[in-house]
Amino acid sequence: MKLADARCEIVHLLNHSRLEEIKLSFCHLFESSDFLNEFVAAVKRNPSVKILKLCGNRLGKRLHGGRCCWGDV
């Protein structure tokens, strides 16, 4: 299954589930800055998330000259 085809479902899951850890490795979900913004907003609204692992993803390709700051998450 391509996670990129399930972006709405992922945001819905983040908004309506008690997740303590999220791990998304080597996927293309975050190549779209629109989805990246939605994802960050959903994670911020979910107080149960304690661990966020996003290794191997292409984050912030269009943001901050290729760098993305996760300090606000």
Q: What is the dihedral of CA 71, 21, 17, 58, to 10 degrees?
A: 60
Phi and psi angles of residue 70, each rounded to the nearest 5 degrees, phi first = -100, 15
Residue 53 pLDDT: 87
Which of 33, 13, 25, 34 has the alpha carbon at shortest distance from 57?
25
Q: What backbone torsions phi and psi does residue 22 show, to the nearest 5 degrees?
A: -125, 130
Query: What pLDDT band is residue 11 in, cutting at 50, 70 and 90?
Result: very high
Q: Rounded to an integer, what distance in angstroms lies between the CA atom of residue 70 and that of residue 8?
A: 22
pTM over 0.75: no
Average pLDDT over residues 62-68: 48
